[in-house]
Amino acid sequence: MATCRTVINGALRKLGRLGAGREPRTADQTDALAALQGLYSSWVAAGAFGRLADVIPLVDYTAGVNQRIIRDPEVVTVTLPEFMPMYGDPMTYGEERPCDGYGREHVPPRDGSVVQIMDTNGQQTETWIYDAALRVWTDIGLLQLDNEAPRSASDPEGLSAALALELADTFGADVGPTTVRQATRYQTAMTHRYGMRAEAAAGVYF
């Protein structure tokens, strides 16, 4: 795992804005942290972690993975999922399901699973990303420099490279071909997720 500070420093070094063994200016760190939060948000909006299904619960609710939950904060409390069904639609619970050979019908959420919680009064939106390496949900809007960066365990250099591309115009810096390749590698692995277990998908027939 890498902290947000480590990812940011790596990105600034790739842009030639930070020397080895040095720390960036506070203003640069602040701008880069905001860019990192924006990068995660843009990936969620673009469906890089999977499509989100809208849910409007009327009572206290345990979220399914990859759901956008629209709640009345005065009435509904949302709990993040600790486990998901082994097979099938992760939004349905309580049904009989096959186990994985060890008697387990449920497993932890997949790395990069998302839960978005939107208040009906428009005052707050929380976007949570699950990191399988730490087995924790992280609210990307509350990320701080010394927090672990979600989904950094698999390829911290690739995440720094993706951030470097995002920051290049801000700092007026050129991006080298190695950084471009690292960013492409990271984003391809993130969207294809070949290193994770396959999930059953419903067929569509015409």
What is the C-alpha separation between 78 and 120, in angstroms, rounded?
13
pLDDT at 93: 43
User: How many alpha carbons fall within 13 Å on the CB side of residue 166?
Assistant: 25
* Sign, CA torsion 142/147/153/155: positive
What is the C-alpha separation between 66 and 115, in angstroms, rounded?
5
- Confidence tier at 1 by pLDDT (50, 70, 90): confident
The contacts of residue 59 (CB under 8 Å, 6+ apart) are: 75, 76
What is the C-alpha separation between 69 and 91, in angstroms, rounded?
12
What is the C-alpha separation between 83 and 135, in angstroms, rounded?
10
Beta strands in 57-166 (DSSP E): 61-62, 67-71, 78-79, 84-85, 106-107, 114-119, 125-131, 136-139
Select the more confidently predicted residue: 189 or 91. 189
What is the C-alpha separation between 73 and 51, in angstroms, rounded?
24
* Tokens of residue 124, six digits: 């707050």
Query: What average pLDDT is seen over the chain?
Result: 86
pTM: 0.83
For the ranges 60-74, 150-164, 181-195, the lowest mean pLDDT is seen at 181-195
Percent of the chain at pLDDT exceeding 70: 83
pLDDT at 45: 94
